Structure 1
Amino acid sequence: MPEMRFTIRWPDGAEESCYSPSLVISEYMTAGESYTVSDFAERCRTALNIASERVRAKYGFACSSALDQLGRIEQASARFAPDAPVTVVSFET
């Protein structure tokens, strides 16, 4: 299963490298685009849960790395206003 990393820029300018066990994340976001914190978190929630379920279908267990990444994104998102911008800087496979 192809995995990917995606780099994001939070509203405070901090960049973070994030993990997805599947390329599905790139179906929910576009590199170079900005999303509100609330929209970004929802897109990540959807895509990383799909990615985790793909791992479950293939290997018989959910992807704890995807769920951990989602937890970190949700925790970081709570520090910002829901309408603040998060930029997807790049995707790396």
Structure 2
Amino acid sequence: MPETFWTVRWPDGAEEQLYSPSSVVAEIFAPGQSYPAPDFLQRARSAMERASDRVQRKYGFACSSALDQLDRIETRIAPFLDQDGARVTCLTISQ
């Protein structure tokens, strides 16, 4: 369950490195791919919940880091959810 970092470009052009305790993000996102903001949020929720579940199965407790990252993603993307054409691009994924 390798830690994984991925970098995204938000609709406002800002770039940010995100964290996952699991490589599950590489199953859900692809480098170079752009996602409509609502789709990105749904995928991020799925990725972080699956990552936390993997930690729970292995160690017996949910991963607070994954859930904290999801909270930050939800806060960051909120202003873009109602903007037509707002997209988030996955730039890189690394372990």
Task: Tell me which interval the TM-score lies in, with the shorter structure as reference length.
Answer: over 0.9
Per the alignment, residue 91 of structure 1 pairs with 93
Q: Quick one: distance in 2 between partners of 1:44 and 1:13? A: 19
TM-score, normalization by structure 1 = 0.96
Q: CA RMSD in A?
A: 1.0
Unaligned runs of 5+ in 2: none
Q: How many residues align?
A: 93
Q: Deviations over 1:12-49 (max 9, x none)?
A: 00000000111111111110000011000000100110
Per the alignment, residue 64 of structure 2 pairs with 64
The percentage of counterpart residues that share the same residue type is 55
Per the alignment, residue 48 of structure 1 pairs with 48
Q: Quick one: distance in 1 between partners of 2:10 and 2:37? A: 8
Does 2:60 match 1:32? no
User: Counterpart of 1:89 in structure 2: which amino acid?
Assistant: L
Q: Quick one: distance in 2 between partners of 1:36 and 1:2? A: 27
Conservation of the 8 A alpha-carbon contact between 1:55 and 1:61? yes
Moved over 3 A (4+): none
Where 1:79 maps in the other structure, the secondary structure is helix
Unaligned runs of 5+ in 1: none
Q: Deviations over 1:32-72 (max 9, x none)?
A: 00001100000010011000000000011100000000011
Q: Quick one: distance in 2 between partners of 1:19 and 1:72? A: 11
TM-score, normalization by structure 2 = 0.94
